[in-house]
Amino acid sequence: MAAPSSSSKLLFGGTSSREEDQNSKMQHSTTSSVSNTNTAPQKKKRNLPGTPSKIDLNPDAEVIALSPKTLMATNRFICEVCNKGFQREQNLQLHRRGHNLPWKLKQKTTKEVKRKVYLCPEPTCVHHDPSRALGDLTGIKKHYSRKHGEKKWKCEKCSKRYAVQSDWKAHSKTCGTREYRCDCGTLFSRRDSFITHRAFCDALAQESARHPTNLNTMASHLFGGNHLGLTGSQVTTQISNLQQDHHPSTNILRLGSAAGGAKFEHLLPPSNPSNSFGQTVPPLPPALFIQDTNQGFQEQSHHGLLPNKALHGLMQLSDLQANPSNSSASANLFNLGFFSSSSNTNSMADSDTANNNAAANLSSSAFLVTDQFNSGNGGGGSQTGTTLFPDHMGTGISSLYGPTPQQSLSPHMSATALLQKAAQMGSTTSGNSTSLLRGLGSSSSTANKSDRVQFISGGFGGVVGGGENMRTSQLDHDNHLQGLMNSLANGGSSVMFGGGQDQDMNGFNGFGENNNNNNNNNNPSLMSNMDDQAKLHRNMSIGGSDKLTLDFLGVGVRSGLTQEHQHGIEIGNLDSEIKLAHSGSRAFGGGGKLQ
């Protein structure tokens, strides 16, 4: 059994779906042959029961994708005597021989026939990939029925069901007569109970072979009563495994964590599964996240020493962020109010004529620089930072946020990660998701929330002030303000969406009205700026009451006062929030310095 060549996989990865489409119309469509390149033999894998053992890897084979219908079509070649059907004409010919009918087998053509391999029509199946195509038609048929088909045949003795009749027949012959013997010496008369048993026995037996048992017993004696000490290290190893697995859901940590870090991690090298953190991980998110933020601070202060390079990093970040989506605009849709600097700026840029993309980046970097300076004050650093984040930083962050930057760009985000992200976004855009946030909440989101509270107290004037601030930063662009309003307005609308939730019920009547109005208004585009502003105010006050009543729960409460100070100056750009969250807690009067 050879192994799939990686190059052929590459070659065919893209075309297979197209083949599929064609084949729903055409019965057989042959496509190009798998190219023959380095077929590095891989480790032989144990075949799972029911998996066809023949995986054809002939590099010159013709890849054939059949639609499920064609595949399952029974027997197009019918014997006129007994009406038995055959899938292949050759077989019918052979069969006719038994009836003493004239028969003729096709002669081998002089030209050597290309080997054919078949794809499983089920897109989620591993054998849907041309590099794992199966070598014969019967094989693929059986595979398809076994794995993706209905199990029509039931054994009367043991109730086990089969999709392929021949499997059922074979089983019926031996059912009850054969015994299954596990390595541990236990006998089973039924296969399913045998398998069930093996679920335990195999695992334990195999592993005890690796770990000598006396060690276990020793451990149990030694640590039976007082196992806490060892537990820590166990958790750690487990976490390190987990990180090496590169699983999307490690995003749990990342997404729920301090916003600043979460941004930077896009740029991190993937392979930094250091987990000094693991040992102290309590099972409960809040405490964990507080730690995150602290890390985030340090990290920011490192950057503070080299503002220019950090700026570079940030600009790159915005590119990266645009990557996973079709258009940056649609990506930013969900970044509304999300405290990422780059994404918000991008959305502003994209929402108008998009001629100021650079400006947008500049603006964000400008803010970053501000922050860097500020941070520099506190950071007083011994660390030297480089553009793409030196290793020690990377390590720190990746251990905090999980090892999978690529995963965050991959098309499928885990539901958990999505929830975390939604919670984070919700914390800035609206009071809507606060309850989500309560559980997942990170200290940084709290910081952002208090941010908002300050924002309210500043009122809309704060926004205007922000706009002016931008002007002084030579980033004067009407669209900025406009974009800002847009996103704020959207924050409002998302509250409206989530409205009526329990946390919002502090006698806030205007909210409901707002909601209704909006629902009656069929043309959102006609909504005036004023409306938006009004909504903005409501949004904010909802958010505010929310936080005041609920959301400091369990998470590090930050001093809002310093942030207020910042807000007068920097609030003009939503994206600065992320820094505000950090810098604010560090209590330097940063904005003033910028000016």
Partner 1 sequence: MAGMVQEENSSSITSPPVHFFHMMSLSPGLGSPYPWLRELKSEERGLYLIRLLLACANHVAACSVENANIGLEHISHLASPDGDAMQRIAAYFTEALAYRMLKGWPGLYRALNSTKISSSSDRIIAQRSFFELCPFLKLSYVITNQAIMEAMEGEKVVHIIDLYSFEPAQWINLMQLLSARPEGPPHLIITGIHEQKEVLDQMASRLTEEAENLDIPFQFNPIVSKLENLNVGSLRVRMGEALAISSVLQLHSLLAADDDMLRRNSPSSSRNSNSTPLSRILPVNPRTLGEFLKKDFAILPSPSSDSASPSSPFSLTQSPRMGSFLNALWGLSPKLMVVTEQESDHNASSLMDRVVEALKFYAALFDCLESTITQAYTERQKIEKMLFGEEIKNIIACEGPERKERHEKLEKWILRLELAGFGRVPLSYNGMLQAKRLLSYGYDGYNIKDENGCLYICWQDCPLFSVSAWRFRRYE
Residues in region 234-253 near partner 1 by CB under 8 A:
234-235, 238-239, 241-242, 245, 247-250, 252-253
Q: Which of 25, 156, 225, 595 binds partner 1 (CB under 8 A)?
A: 225
In the list 77, 103, 334, 373, the residue contacting partner 1 (rule: CB under 8 A) is: 334
Of 572, 424, 582, nearest in space to 485 by CA: 572
- Contact between 433 and partner 1 by CB under 8 A: the answer reads yes
Residues 147, 302, 558, 582: which binds partner 1 (CB under 8 A)?
147
Q: Which of residues 34-63 bind partner 1 (CB under 8 A)?
A: 48
Toward partner 1, which CB reaches closer, 253 or 310?
A: 253
Report the residue from 6, 24, 325, 387 that binds partner 1 according to the rule CB under 8 A.
Answer: 325
Q: Is the Cβ of residue 332 or residue 541 nearer to partner 1 in the bound state? A: 332
Looking at residues 455 to 494 of the shown chain, list those that interact with partner 1 (rule: CB under 8 A): 479, 482, 486-487, 489-490, 493-494
30 near partner 1 (CB under 8 A): no
Out of 133, 140, 336, 475, name the contact with partner 1 by CB under 8 A.
336
- State the CB neighbour count (10 A cutoff) for residue 479: 19
Q: Given candidates 196, 271, 279, 355, which one binds partner 1 under the rule CB under 8 A?
A: 196
Amino acid at the residue 46: R
Among 257, 347, 427, 428, binds partner 1 (CB under 8 A): 347
SS (H, E, C) 142-155: HHHHHHHCCCCEEC
How many helices and strands in the chain, by DSSP H and E?
A: 28, 9
Pick one of 138, 298, 351, 357: the residue that binds partner 1 (CB under 8 A): 351
Among 184, 358, 548, 561, binds partner 1 (CB under 8 A): 184
**φ/ψ (deg, to 5) at 111:** -70, 140
Q: Which two tokens stand for residue 130?
A: 């041309």
Identity of the residue, 268 or 425, whose beta carbon is nearer to partner 1 in the bound complex:
425
As a whole number of angstroms, the distance between CA 179 and CA 197 comes to 13
Q: Interface with partner 1 by CB under 8 A: which range of 78-86, 92-100, 320-328, 575-583?
A: 320-328
Q: Give, as ranges, the residues between 494 and 513 that touch partner 1 (CB under 8 A).
A: 494, 496-503, 505
User: Packing angle between helix 560-570 and helix 461-472, nearest 10 degrees?
Assistant: 60
Q: If binding is defined by CB under 8 A, does position 361 make contact with partner 1?
A: no
Q: Which segment (203-211, 260-268, 364-372, 559-567) binds partner 1 by CB under 8 A?
A: 203-211
Q: What is the DSSP string of 262-308?
A: HHHGGGS-S-----TTGGG--SSHHHHHHHHHHHHHHHHHHHHT-HH
**Binding-residue total with partner 1 (CB under 8 A):** 120
Is residue 209 part of the contact set for partner 1 (CB under 8 A)?
no
Q: How far is the CB of 509 from partner 1 (least distance, A)?
A: 13
Nearer to partner 1, 259 or 422 (CB): 422
Q: Which two tokens stand for residue 24?
A: 């729903």
Measure Cα distances from 200 to 115, 178, 197, 401 in Å: 42, 22, 6, 34
Closest residue by Cα to residue 585 from 552, 563, 567, 564: 563
Q: Which stretch binds partner 1 (CB under 8 A): 103-111, 112-120, 417-425, 562-570?
A: 417-425
Give yes or no for residue 352 binding partner 1 (CB under 8 A): yes
Among 201, 464, 534, 587, binds partner 1 (CB under 8 A): 201
Residues 521-540 that bind partner 1 (CB under 8 A): 521-529
If one asks whether residue 412 binds partner 1 (CB under 8 A), the answer comes out as yes
Site string for partner 1, 368-407 (x = CB under 8 A): ----------------------------------------
Q: How far apart are CA 269 and CA 181, in angstroms?
A: 48
Residue 352: how many other CB atoms lie within 10 Å: 16
Binding mask 440-459 for partner 1 (x = CB under 8 A): x-------------------
Handedness of CA 11, 17, 22, 26 (dihedral sign): positive
Is the CB of 256 or the CB of 296 nearer to partner 1? 256
Q: Which residues of 30-46 are buried (b: 16+ CB within 10 A; e: fewer)?
A: ebebbeeeebeeeeeee
Closest to partner 1 by CB, 15 vs 189, is 189
Cβ proximity to partner 1, 241 vs 457, nearer residue:
241
Do the beta carbons of residue 268 and residue 389 sit within 8 Å? Answer: yes
Question: Cα separation of 23 and 66, whole Å?
Answer: 6
Which one, 305 or 495, has the nearer CB to partner 1? 495
Neighbours of 289 (CB within 10 A): 25
We find the least distance from the C-beta atom of residue 177 to partner 1, in angstroms, to be: 16
Choice from 72, 101, 105, 553 touching partner 1 (CB under 8 A): 553
Q: Are 581 and 259 in contact (CB under 8 A)?
A: yes
Q: How far apart are CA 578 and CA 103, in angstroms?
A: 80
Of 178, 177, 175, 179, the closest CA to residue 162 belongs to 175
CB of residue 352 to partner 1, shortest distance in Å = 6
Q: Which of 75, 138, 294, 518 binds partner 1 (CB under 8 A)?
A: 518
Cα 399 to the center of its chain, rounded Å: 18
Q: Which residue in 70, 90, 91, 186 binds partner 1 (CB under 8 A)?
A: 186
Rule CB under 8 A: is residue 228 a binding residue for partner 1?
Answer: yes
Q: Are 255 and 417 in contact (CB under 8 A)?
A: yes
Q: Does 293 participate in binding partner 1 (rule CB under 8 A)?
A: no
The strand order across the sheet containing 30-33 reads 30-33, 62-65, 116-119
Bridge partners of residue 187, in order along the sequence: 181
User: What is the sign, positive or negative, of the torsion defined by CA atoms of 264, 265, 268, 274?
Assistant: positive
Tell me which of 435, 446, 562, 583 binds partner 1, using CB under 8 A.
Answer: 435
Residues 69-108 that bind partner 1 (CB under 8 A): none
Q: Closest CB to partner 1 among 10 and 230?
A: 230
Q: Which is nearer to partner 1, 73 or 287 (CB)?
A: 287
In whole angstroms, give the CA distance from residue 41 to residue 63: 20
- Exposed, middle or buried, 109 (CB in 10 Å: 0-12/13-18/19+)? exposed
Nearest distance from residue 118's CB to partner 1, in Å? 18
Binding mask 108-137 for partner 1 (x = CB under 8 A): --------------x-xxx-----------
